[in-house]
Structure 1
Amino acid sequence: MNYLSVENISKSYGERVLFQNISFGINKDQKIAFIAKNGTGKTSILNILSGDDEPDTGQIITRKGIRISFLSQDPKLDGSLTVEQTIFASDSEVLKIIEQYEKVLKDPDDTAAYQRAFEAMDANNAWDFETLYKQILYKLKLDNLDQKVSNLSGGQKKRLALAHALINKPDLLILDEPTNHLDLEMIEWLEHYFAKENITLFMVTHDRFFLERVCNEIVELENGQLYSYKGNYSYYLEKKEARIASEQASVDKAQNLFKKELDWMRRQPKARTTKSKSRIDDFYMIKEKAHQRRKDHQVQLEINMERLGSKIVELHNVSKRFGERVLLNKFDYTFKKGERIGIIGKNGTGKTTFLNMLTGALSPDGGKIVVGDTVKFGYYTQKGIKIKPEQKVIDVIREFGDHIPLKKGRTISAAQLLERFLFDRKKQYDFVEKLSGGERKRLYLCTVLIQNPNFLILDEPTNDLDIITLNVLESFLLDYPGCLLVVSHDRYFMDKIVDHLFVFRGEGVVEDFPGNYSDFRIYEDSAAPKEKVVEKKEKQSWRQDESPKLSYNEQKEFKRLEKDIAKLGEEKVQIELRFAEGAVEDVDEESRKLQEVLSQIEEKEERWLELSMKMEG
């Protein structure tokens, strides 16, 4: 069943043509990843699909009655609403029923309204949906439902927009970099969610593990032409390599034929016959084919770093806290030459704070950090490049000099250096504020590397970079001779370039793990205690080819749990109503009963979720 058709759309900004005459379709149950270089119009296409923008030519045809949700990189949320109000700001009928139920709980005197709301919850299976949406909010760390949107951080707003899109249960979900601002635990949960939910997806993402495990089709826009691959990321890499080899063979053949035809053209007399006119026309077609060039110049990174001395960086009993939150507690480490360390951990555990202390931007509360005399840090931060009004791309590089030193005494001009970072001469004179998010990140990376650091620190370097640039950056980092410290939620990137990990557990605990991210996940899963079996199964579910189904006794238990949870929910409401009406004789006893009911609900919901995952897997 076709959900959406794109017919011959084009988009330009002034003289800059992003794409022309693009056509493709999105069908039910497809999970499509859209791949293209930064600056070629990925986000523009998503905005056009979602209706936030219009093409210059062509049209978008959407199937009547389907629900579409769009997660943009910069979601537009109403700052005056709370988290809960934002979730309920939807045209979903089930959400409206849940919202009404939540409202009547606050008005205990209207028992008739409560009864109607309760029956509506029953009739529409809204209890299950309520459990699901609360699980989504919990997994995305949106615990404070009364918090105003205006007080949320950028990352929290992105997670709230994602939660709203998921809870809305759309037929088609359009996503622009959904894993940005999620920690690794959240990303793995989202992978599992998409794998088991019947949602049709069209997304832009640079997360190659996510591509591998979620997507069943990849569409690539390259040199103005669309290529479709009916498989995941591994399949795409294999088939793209074969396509490029085939295209190159075709060009080579055309070049050989062109040489022969060129010789014939040079020998032709001025008076031409009709027969030779036809051959001349063919010649120009052959010439066009023979002169085709792939525009896939790679970023060429070359630095002239100073050699590191014997002393690099030493941390002795380093401690740091903000208020009651302990980030580091007497941390010791001595960096060695050529170390390649990845840093992982949940949001808020102190990863970026650690980097800022290392580079001197923050001071530790206790202990000391000793930096060797030969160390030159290169620090790529999440803040990115500082944009100055009407500053052009080339002016950013010229701030470091018109000529940049390379290895062996050689130099390179600012313009030549930018060409190596995929900014052609025309693009170099664009204003920085007009660059795409990924192009700005590439320019920022250039400014960090041309300072020739021998200790490179990268804080989420993969956000907004296209897959082509990521592959080249990885190749450069594999050959980088200095020390490397990386914070990233990109598991593919981490697996490729780091040797061991600093695992920030929270509460000041940092573990040194000898291996890459995949090694760490295997270790964590094998070491998980039995009482965390639900969480473990959720994280491992993508690895299982076939999840076990429920036994007969488990099916009975599952049905019984549904009834028990509904009954306990009603009991909870009755106790809360008695408190609200002031009809409680023994407050301590009633409080104890309420706490017992809440504990039972939590216990039974956890078991219900475990069985439902097993059943749906």
Structure 2
Amino acid sequence: MASNISTFQLSNPFTHPQSSNYQFSNLSIFQYLSVYLCGMNYLSVENLSKSFGERKLFQNISFGIDQGQKIALVGINGAGKSTLMKIIMGLEVADSGTFSINQQIKVSYVHQNPVFAADLSIYQTIFEGSTNEILGLIESYHKVMLDAEMGKDNGDLLQQFLIKMDAMQAWDYEYEVKEVLGKLGLKDTEQPVGNLSGGQRKRVALAKAILEKPDLLLLDEPTNHLDLETIEWLEDYLSRANLSLLMVTHDRYFLEKVTNQILELDNGQIYRYMGNYGYFLEKKAERREIEATEIDKAKSLYKKELEWIRRQPKARGTKAKYRVDAFEETKEKAFQKREEREIELKLTTQRLGNKIIEIDELGKSFDGKPVIKDFSYIFKKGDKIGIVGPNGAGKTTFLNMITGLLEPDRGKVTIGQTTAIGYYRQEEDRFDESKRLIDIVKDVAEVVTIAGGSTISVSQFLTKFGFPPKQQFTPIEKLSGGERRRLQLLMVLIKNPNFLILDEPTNDLDIMTLNTLEEFLDDFPGCLLIVSHDRYFMDRLVDHLFVFEGEGKIKDFPGNYTDFREWEKEQKLAPKLEKPEVKAPEPKKVEAASVSKPKATFKDKKEFEETSSKIESLQREKDQLVEKIQAGSGGPADMTNWSKRIVAIDHEVENLEMRWLELSELEGIG
């Protein structure tokens, strides 16, 4: 076992670094026991430390991942989450400590901002470097088919590949390839990767990782740049997939459904919680309370020990060494410095008049394709509106027209005299990398007006926004991705807008910042217009939606995102009772009776009741299995069996629901 785990060779296909060999020390006895008791060990991290200059990210952290565990890595922006992921995949080097990956397993990694060879097509990129034999066969078959479509005579070669595909039972896998690519919105697979946006490259990386069928999948912010429908598909896939998972994400619905454990990087240390996001919140609060109590006790003990130290002779040798050592430990604990970044958002807003923003018959097309068609809306005081729809449907185009960054083809946008728009854009703002954080903010304002009308200095405002005084003199180039986004948000709010437009504001922000931002926006007295893939964020803040349905159509839906999804499901499941009218020259009553619904027999009624009962029973069984998986109450074999059973239940429920719909249309049932 030791030889399989202690040596690790890695080539990362997602960022194309040079292949590297790493030799690590043998595992500790504790880790061997972990493998023996919990099943196969996939990843072991022991006493890992990393700093950047004087800033310590983490120190002597240790943890492991076993077969079947689905773990989320959480922490504030700048805590070192992405750095830790990069160390594990050989993209960064730790200051000290070791990590080991089991050589018997396959590992795939999706970087936060994946990079690929620009000249390769999407299809070539997904198959490049694949170690999956069937995946390689499908790629070759795909090339032969392309040649055949272009008129090249390769009938014999094509026949050989058809035989191979049959022999290796690759047809089901090819169907899965098409399904994954379709669900991730990668339809034009011959398109060069160099022409793709950052969000599209993220989809390519996800497709490549999923189709590799890894045993261990590492994901850094997998939901960023994905639309809501794709996120829901990915969430469902990962919750069912028979693999181990380590991911960095701030999506709280995603955390709740997919993970069964959470690792928190906090103040340079790592803490493990055996449960999903709700359990994590509860236990973290308990941990903080215990820590606060222990610090108070240490301070009290420190005062007593300090008196003893002062009473003793000055020569240290005359004092009991063990007590002096204990005194130093108590002092360190009593005055330990926790890097708190409590964010406090209390800002004033400008008065909003009766006329806010009026949109009249707005229209926009690109290359003859309508993106927005004849849309009108008059904003009212207190409007909190969410915008949803697939990527490319025109959401950001709509925002850019409202803010005047893009001219409409027709119609107009009229902005009231007292309306002060604050626009947080999806694209990251470009700051002077050499300038210090505090100087960037001072370029906009020297003082900030907060709630109540009082003013504070820029330094005080930065502190309230989670940038402590020591960090305020840090060059922009040293900030993490999440810290840059927080700075971008700060630069919008510092101008005291009364109409906030937020385009994907949750990208790269940590959960603590999101919670504080939600509280601020919940009490925001002005208008909100939000584009976000964070369902929790949308559900909490918006009271109705602009739904971009495609082809320029925008639906005004009363309710939040979950309300909309429930409404959509009801529309799909609703029995089609209304029949299309057929015009006849002389309609007769007897003809009307002839198209009435058939009557239900006693057997039909009994089957209807049994079907309803069976659906409810299966749903309860599924809920129980999901709870067991999320609680991590079973071993690897149990996890695998439960996951398979959930898939089987879903298939059975789908068939039963179709039969239920058929029976529900019979007269006399219901």
TM-score normalised over the length of structure 2: 0.77
Pick the aligned partner of 2:215 from 161, 171, 185. 171
Alignment-derived partner of residue 119 in structure 2 = 80
User: How big is the shift at 1:278?
Assistant: 5.1
Partner Cα distance (2:320, 2:383) in 1: 67
User: Does residue 457 of the first structure (1) align with residue 496 of the second (2)?
Assistant: no
User: In the TM superposition, what whole-angstrom CA distance separates every residue of 1:505-540 from its partner, at most 9, and x where no partner exists?
Assistant: 1122212222211111111111115799xxxxxxx9
Structure 2 vs 1, CA of residues 479 and 111 (structure 1 numbering), >3 Å: closer, same or farther? Answer: same
Alignment-derived partner of residue 228 in structure 2 = 184
User: How big is the shift at 1:187?
Assistant: 0.4
User: In the TM superposition, what whole-angstrom CA distance separates every residue of 1:468-506 from its partner, at most 9, and x where no partner exists?
Assistant: 111111111112111111100000111111122111111
Alignment-derived partner of residue 471 in structure 1 = 515
Alignment-derived partner of residue 40 in structure 1 = 79
Pick the aligned partner of 1:18 from 57, 60, 67. 57
User: Does residue 329 of the first structure (1) align with residue 373 of the second (2)?
Assistant: yes
Tell me whether 256-265 or 241-250 shows the greater mean CA deviation: 256-265
Partner Cα distance (1:136, 1:272) in 2: 70
Structure 2 vs 1, CA of residues 406 and 103 (structure 1 numbering), >3 Å: closer, same or farther? Answer: closer
Pick the aligned partner of 1:307 from 325, 336, 351. 351
Tell me whether 272-281 or 317-326 shows the greater mean CA deviation: 272-281
User: How big is the shift at 1:363?
Assistant: 2.4
Pick the aligned partner of 2:138 from 91, 94, 98. 98
Pick the aligned partner of 2:96 from 47, 57, 71. 57
SS in 2 for 1:528: helix
User: In the TM superposition, what whole-angstrom CA distance separates every residue of 1:124-180 from its partner, at most 9, and x where no partner exists?
Assistant: 221111000100111111111111111112211111111111111111111111111
**Structure 1 unaligned runs (5+)?**
533-539, 549-609
Alignment-derived partner of residue 132 in structure 1 = 176
Pick the aligned partner of 1:501 from 538, 545, 552. 545
Partner Cα distance (1:64, 1:236) in 2: 31
Partner Cα distance (1:196, 1:454) in 2: 44
Alignment-derived partner of residue 162 in structure 1 = 206
Partner Cα distance (2:216, 2:59) in 1: 24
SS in 2 for 1:195: helix
Partner Cα distance (1:616, 1:231) in 2: 27
Tell me whether 178-187 or 283-292 shows the greater mean CA deviation: 283-292
User: Does residue 236 of the first structure (1) align with residue 277 of the second (2)?
Assistant: no
Query: Would you say the 8 A contact 2:56–2:268 is kept in 1?
Result: no
Alignment-derived partner of residue 604 in structure 2 = none
Pick the aligned partner of 1:372 from 395, 409, 416. 416
Alignment-derived partner of residue 213 in structure 1 = 257
Query: Would you say the 8 A contact 1:196–1:616 is kept in 2?
Result: no
Matched to 1:155, the amino acid is G
Partner Cα distance (1:251, 1:13) in 2: 28
SS in 1 for 2:65: strand
Matched to 1:307, the amino acid is R
Aligned residues: 548
How do 1:249-398 residues align onto structure 2 when only pairs under 5 Å count? Answer: 249-262=293-306, 279=323, 281-292=325-336, 294-398=338-442
User: How big is the shift at 1:374?
Assistant: 0.7
Alignment-derived partner of residue 14 in structure 2 = none
Structure 2 vs 1, CA of residues 288 and 434 (structure 1 numbering), >3 Å: closer, same or farther? Answer: closer
Percentage identity across paired residues of the two chains:
53
Structure 2 vs 1, CA of residues 356 and 187 (structure 1 numbering), >3 Å: closer, same or farther? Answer: same
SS in 2 for 1:132: helix
Alignment-derived partner of residue 594 in structure 1 = none
Query: Would you say the 8 A contact 2:341–2:467 is kept in 1?
Result: no
Matched to 1:91, the amino acid is T
SS in 2 for 1:521: helix
Structure 2 vs 1, CA of residues 611 and 410 (structure 1 numbering), >3 Å: closer, same or farther? Answer: closer
Tell me whether 219-228 or 366-375 shows the greater mean CA deviation: 366-375
Structure 2 vs 1, CA of residues 277 and 171 (structure 1 numbering), >3 Å: closer, same or farther? Answer: closer
Query: Would you say the 8 A contact 2:239–2:258 is kept in 1?
Result: yes
Partner Cα distance (2:74, 2:552) in 1: 39
Alignment-derived partner of residue 567 in structure 1 = none
Partner Cα distance (1:60, 1:297) in 2: 30
Pick the aligned partner of 2:525 from 458, 481, 493. 481
Partner Cα distance (2:163, 2:260) in 1: 40
Matched to 2:214, the amino acid is P
User: In the TM superposition, what whole-angstrom CA distance separates every residue of 1:550-569 from its partner, at most 9, and x where no partner exists?
Assistant: xxxxxxxxxxxxxxxxxxxx
SS in 1 for 2:247: strand
SS in 1 for 2:435: coil
SS in 2 for 1:145: coil
Query: Would you say the 8 A contact 1:547–1:614 is kept in 2?
Result: no
Matched to 1:3, the amino acid is Y
User: In the TM superposition, what whole-angstrom CA distance separates every residue of 1:227-261 from its partner, at most 9, and x where no partner exists?
Assistant: 00111111111111111122222223333444444
Pick the aligned partner of 2:488 from 420, 441, 444. 444
Pick the aligned partner of 1:406 from 450, 453, 458. 450
User: In the TM superposition, what whole-angstrom CA distance separates every residue of 1:403-430 from its partner, at most 9, and x where no partner exists?
Assistant: 2233444322222221222222332222
Alignment-derived partner of residue 614 in structure 1 = 651
User: Does residue 429 of the first structure (1) align with residue 473 of the second (2)?
Assistant: yes
Query: Would you say the 8 A contact 1:316–1:333 is kept in 2?
Result: yes
Query: Would you say the 8 A contact 2:313–2:319 is kept in 1?
Result: no
Matched to 2:568, the amino acid is E
Query: Would you say the 8 A contact 2:361–2:410 is kept in 1?
Result: yes
Tell me whether 196-205 or 103-112 shows the greater mean CA deviation: 103-112
Partner Cα distance (2:191, 2:653) in 1: 33
User: How big is the shift at 1:272?
Assistant: 9.1
Q: CA RMSD in A?
A: 2.7
Partner Cα distance (2:652, 2:87) in 1: 38
Structure 2 vs 1, CA of residues 23 and 416 (structure 1 numbering), >3 Å: closer, same or farther? Answer: same
Partner Cα distance (1:39, 1:476) in 2: 22
Tell me whether 49-58 or 403-412 shows the greater mean CA deviation: 403-412
User: In the TM superposition, what whole-angstrom CA distance separates every residue of 1:201-225 from its partner, at most 9, and x where no partner exists?
Assistant: 1100111111111111100010111
SS in 1 for 2:296: helix
Alignment-derived partner of residue 578 in structure 1 = none
**Structure 2 unaligned runs (5+)?**
1-39, 577-614, 624-646, 655-670
Alignment-derived partner of residue 41 in structure 2 = 2
Partner Cα distance (1:43, 1:269) in 2: 51
Structure 2 vs 1, CA of residues 265 and 83 (structure 1 numbering), >3 Å: closer, same or farther? Answer: same
Partner Cα distance (1:233, 1:306) in 2: 37
Matched to 2:468, the amino acid is D
User: How big is the shift at 1:122?
Assistant: 1.9
Matched to 2:99, the amino acid is I
Tell me whether 279-288 or 436-445 shows the greater mean CA deviation: 279-288
Query: Would you say the 8 A contact 1:50–1:69 is kept in 2?
Result: no
